[in-house]
Amino acid sequence: MTSVKEQEAIRKLMVFLQEWDSAHKVARSRILDNFIKSNDGKTEPELELEFSQGASLFLARLTAWLRMTYTYSTCLNRLLKSVGIFLSAASGRRYLTEFLEIGGVSILLEVLGLNHLKEEDKRESVKLLQLVADAGRKYKELICESYGVRSLAEFLATSKSAEAQEDAQVLLDSLGRGNPKYQNQVYKGLIAVLPCASPRAQQLALQTLRVLQDVVGEAPSVLVEPVLGVLCSVHLEVLYEAIQLLKALMAHEVRSALLKGLVALLTPPRKKAFTFCNKTAKDPTALCLREPVLVYIQQAAAAKVIG
**pLDDT of the residue at 298:** 85
Q: What is the pLDDT along the chain (307 residues), one digit of tens a residue?
A: 467 888 888 999 999 999 999 999 999 999 999 999 999 999 999 999 999 999 999 999 999 999 999 998 789 999 999 999 999 999 999 999 999 999 999 999 999 999 999 999 999 999 999 999 999 999 999 999 999 999 999 999 999 999 999 999 999 999 999 999 999 999 999 999 999 999 999 999 999 999 999 898 888 889 999 999 999 999 999 999 999 999 999 988 999 999 999 999 888 766 544 444 444 444 444 444 456 678 888 888 889 888 7
**pTM for this model (two decimals):** 0.89
CA distances 93 to 33, 49, 54, 259, Å, are: 24, 17, 15, 50
Torsion of CA 202, 205, 210, 216, to 10 degrees: -140
Torsion of CA 265, 270, 273, 275, to 10 degrees: -130
52: left (phi over 0), alpha (psi -120 to 50) or beta: left
**pLDDT of the residue at 267:** 84
226/187 Cα distance (integer angstroms): 13
Task: Tell whether the torsion through CA atoms of 26, 31, 35 and 38 is positive or negative.
Answer: positive
Q: Are 219 and 254 in contact (CB under 8 A)?
A: yes
Q: What ranges do the domains of the chain cover?
A: 223-307
**pLDDT of the residue at 291:** 63
Task: Tell whether the torsion through CA atoms of 270, 273, 277 and 281 is positive or negative.
Answer: negative
